[in-house]
Amino acid sequence: MCHGGWCFEQLTEQLRTRGHRVFPLTLTGVGERVHLRHGVNLDTHIQDVTAALAAEHITDAVLVGHSYGGMVITGAADRAATRVSALVYLDAVVPGHGDSCFTLVSEEERRWYLDVVDTGDAVRPLPFFDPRATAHPLASVLQPLTLTGDLGHIRRRDYVYAAGWETPSPFTATYQRLRDDAGWTTHALDGGHNLMRDAPEDLLRILLDVAESH
């Protein structure tokens, strides 16, 4: 939420130097695309990903979703099943059919979502966010996810949990549940929510393992 593809810059460069194709996306209506905010919802963001996959002729993709991005990669994997093979949830929500980001987070997170800008259509960025962060379309966190399948085509699902939150993490219960699920590979890293900033080397190792495993 509120950020752009630029927050993955370090990881993007490191993965590319190792021969991987990497496409960090800024979702419609946030970051440098904030001027497109009107009318944006979760479906818009899912289409951002599926359109990029099609335009770049990508198959066997590893989709990485940070925080709210878990909603987006789940929907994209459902709608572009022939193009996606693995999912990495980076301290993120893990939705099922009918879930919204709003229903999956803590009460503290929901209070933040409802602290909207004057126009009423977007969530304010928090004070400690990157200075490039912008307001985030409110409809995208309120809209329930519609899934058409069971994502059975996904060869691997990883959950990367940030163990270094200064406040109670809204993702602890999710991590604990998935840790005991044989269908998932889980990791706990010593860093805050923005693991791409706090634990880039550990995250790089995980992403390389996912990309290179078959």
Give the per-residue pLDDT at 40.
Answer: 98
- State pTM to two decimals: 0.97
Give the per-residue pLDDT at 28.
Answer: 98
Where in the sequence numbering do the catalytic residues fall? 67
Residues of the chain with pLDDT > 90, as a percent, come to 96
How many other CB atoms are there within 10 angstroms of residue 153's CB atom? Answer: 13
State mean pLDDT over 166-175. Answer: 94
Give the per-residue pLDDT at 36.
Answer: 96
> Is the pLDDT reported for residue 214 higher than 80?
no
Q: How confident is the model at residue 67 (pLDDT cuts 50, 70, 90)?
A: very high
Residues 7, 131 contacting (CB under 8 angstroms): no
Class of the domain covering 5-212: alpha beta
Nearest to 91 by CA among 197, 201, 211, 213: 197
Q: Which helix (H) or strand (E) holds 13?
A: helix 9-17
> Is the pLDDT reported for residue 144 higher than 90?
yes
Helix extents (H) in 19-123: 42-55, 69-79, 101-104, 107-113
